[in-house]
Amino acid sequence: MKIVSSRMYRNRNPKSPFFTSLLLLLLLTVAISTAMCTIEKRILKHKIPSITHTDVFPADKISRSHVSAPAFVFCDTCQLPPFMQWSNNQNVYNSLTLEDFLEKTNTTAFLVAKNDTIIYEKYLNGQTQLTANVIFSITKSFVTTLAGMAITEGYIDMEEPVAGFIPNFAEDERKLISIKHLLHMTSGLDFDDYEDGLKLARLYYHNNIKQEVYKAPLAYQPGSRFAYKSIEIQILGMCMEQATGTRMSDYLKQRIWDPLGMEYNAYFTLDSEAGDARMGGGLRVCSRDLMRLGKLYAHGGKWNGEQLLDPTWIDNIACRTLDDGWYGYSKGWWLDTYLTSNFYEAQDFYAAGFNGQFLYINPATNTVIVRQGLAKGGKTKGGNKTETNWNILIGSLNELLDGKPNSMHRVMDYAWQFPGVYVNEDSQHIEIVKKGEEWSVVRKNKKKALPLQWFCPRSLFNDKTWERFMINMNEQQVIDGLYYDNGLRATYYKKVE
């Protein structure tokens, strides 16, 4: 059986445009005969961003907590399920052991906690538990967590216009953008991390991020569509700093670092000396402290008996819905997870960053998993780059940790039901077809069938178009429909034959 290799599944790593965009900028800087500005100098010197770039930007130090707040029990004798049981065709190195696989995939840290017990902790490739590496877009999840706290404290409101904090937004249609739009990546600003790599690179290395914010134009109606934009979390953070009257690094220490008893210093990198925090991807954090944030979410926002984060905030994140834009992203967290059940029944979510940084949380199974690395890991074969899909690996591991057998091995028990004709509420038809071992989808408005592969036990996927078809089964375990996900919106199709 073929399983999607992860050459893409978007890998939700905003994340992939960096390489191309930075090369383009490098070529641009070579062509400039006059003195280069700070942005181009940074790009030319540092090239592709790395988790080990600890001296590229100035930073606000967030000192370790002095609060005694035990987080996990450490089990030296616990073992993970055998790696071959959950590698799910992601083991491109044919590694026999997990440690060998982690080493070869440039992993620097891999930690697994089940029921508040760390059952696996490994540091590799020159890194240790004391290393505060850049976590890239996982930074966004810290900022949105603080936004949830600020909303509870009454500093900001979900429906509040951003123009109340950034006056020049009030001068045009950007006045329609709300805090809610920023949290769900639906602002409508002309910026897309996947498509606008040049803009993303400038934002990442900019020495005055506010300049980029002020001049960002509107491309479409706020709230009308999802597009992943690092600039939106930067704007969210700017609004929060004004509302709370507190610098982001200070607010992070007050509301998260001290209450959670964080073990190590962290660093919020800045665009310039005494400048603005790089809120879209500039935090440097140690792995165990990432695990603590995960535990806060796994426990419904409660920490040592104190409710630090509104549980409804977390419930709303985990809730898959078709009513408000794309289901797969909510308040700084990704929901397009490895499915072992109907997609609306899933409760897990994750944060992801460039080069395979991963923080996975499943409140239903009380599981937290952290992966950090210098790269995603993968091989080039026949001119094609195959990258490790940590979403598949970690989702499969979570299933085994929950005491269930790997359901990828049981797909064919029900997959025979999947072929057939499906129709949505607009009377649009699609047909899922299986010929031998090959799967595809046929649509009337498309000349060719779209080839599909198994991404997880409950979905087929095309890794070039990023389209996903998620099985829906009724109580009798009969496939009665599917959810079609194009990365912008999910639509339900009922099976009719």
How distant is the alpha carbon of residue 256 from its chain centre?
A: 20
User: Are the C-beta atoms of residues 364 and 399 closer than 8 Å to each other?
Assistant: no
Q: Return all residues near 268 (Cβ < 8 A) that are at least 6 apart.
A: 59, 60, 62, 248, 249, 252, 277, 278, 282, 283, 284
What span, in angstroms and rounded, lies between the C-alpha atoms of 9 and 456? 11
Could you give the domains of the chain? 17-67+130-401 (3.40.710.10), 411-495 (2.40.128.50)
What does the pLDDT read at residue 67? 83
Query: What is the tens place of the pLDDT at every residue in 137-150?
Result: 999 999 999 999 99
| Residue linked to tokens 């987080």 | 71
Q: What mean pLDDT do residues 230-242 have? A: 98
Answer whether 351's CB lies under 8 Å from 337's CB.
no
Give the separation between CA 394 and CA 25, rounded to whole angstroms: 34
- In single-letter form, the type of residue at position 440 comes to S
pLDDT 10s digits, 91-114: 888 899 999 999 999 999 999 999
Q: Encode pLDDT of 432-442 as tens digits.
A: 999 999 999 99
Predicted local confidence at residue 5, as pLDDT: 36
User: Is a pLDDT exceeding 80 seen at residue 13?
Assistant: no
Does residue 69 register a pLDDT over 80?
no
Taking only the tens place, the pLDDT of each residue in 459-490 is: 999 988 989 999 999 999 999 999 999 988 89
Contact 360, 394 (CB under 8 A): yes
The predicted model scores a pTM of 0.93
